[in-house]
Structure 1
Amino acid sequence: MPLSRESVWSLVHDERAALVADLADLAPEQWAAPSLCGRWTVEEVVAHLTAAASVGPLRWIRSMVGARFDADRHNARRLAEHRGATPAQTLERFRAVVPSTTAPSGHTPAWLGEVVVHAGDVRRPLGIPHAPSVQAATEVARFFASRDFTVAGRTAVAGLRLEAVDGPFATGEGPAVRGDTVALVMAMAGRGAFCDDLEGPGVATLRGRA
């Protein structure tokens, strides 16, 4: 059963706080390290998360119009706005929005997915061994598998059977893909590196789509 909006926001806040704690003692070179999110560094991903927690629907629309509906341009502008003069300032700005319930839309599981996926984008390259709670990962997995919204999750899993080995998430019919819920979430979000954590005859197909 889907969680209440209040419960999902509580999970968002927990995952943001956990990420702040994990990043508190990073060395300068770690902040400049590439993340799993395209061309963004670790620091840029954190600034993006601050932006996502600071831009409501009306401001998001104005920003997208100003960017001529170019999502990359919109994201770059908002990232630059919320990045600090130093990595420490960038982290403090993120710390300040940990309790925020501001988001571009009312799709609360998508914004839980935002922090779960981007936290994985920075933790994996840095070797930080944290994983979100199974409850949080399950909520995101169900949302991603049901639609193409912030990520093309439904397209990624079409014709496959996904089964979590650490929780209740399961969906679809076809060649099986099995693993921890967070690895399934990250693979649905297009992070092919996490396919290394999965097994089953459908993994090759999912990796190709990532």
Structure 2
Amino acid sequence: MQDKHWSRVEYLHLSVTNPNILIKGQHSYYSDCWDRGFEQSVVRYLHGDKVSQEWEPLGHIDKLIIGDYVCIGAESVILMGGNHTHCIDFISLYPFVETLNTTYQPRGDTVLNDGCWLGIRCILMPGVVVGEGAVIAAGSVVTKDVPPYAVVGGNPARLIKYRFPEEMVTRVLKLAIYERSDEELKRLIPLLSSADISALEAELA
């Protein structure tokens, strides 16, 4: 916590050590001012940290996959670890040591696609896929996949709106903006910081 300030962020490609967190690019960040940082405070129950990497995995290890230009708000929580060995089909939810190998169920990879934004104190349940350019409202609990360029909020999070009309979302996705080089994106910043999709298309034509 020492010397942290909200104007400075944690760039994930510089800080992440867990081999089951896969980072694309060098621009995704976490607003770490108010806690112990991304791996210590945000990512929960993911196999591969300093302690759990010594354990024999119970089964398939779900990964956390983070695209480029992803913005993760302060005190967000990303739950991993499948069902955490709490099996709702059993009479008792308790994770008895004797049955851990049979109670664990993976949920699939959690994916934060390029350019999405997780608002402060949101919670993502295991196995959720957040689409390119999507926005998760502050304090939301995301229980299912979020489409590209959607804005969702609430508990459980529901679709509020799309950032752009459907036709424009299709056009933006077709440009594959985040697959382009850093040099090209830097040149495109004035257009990316506008709503003029036609000008951006013309520039990339």
**Bigger helix fraction:** 1
TM-score, structure 2 length as denominator? Answer: 0.27
Structure with greater contact order relative to length (CA < 8 Å, sep ≥ 6): 1
The structure with the larger Rg is 2
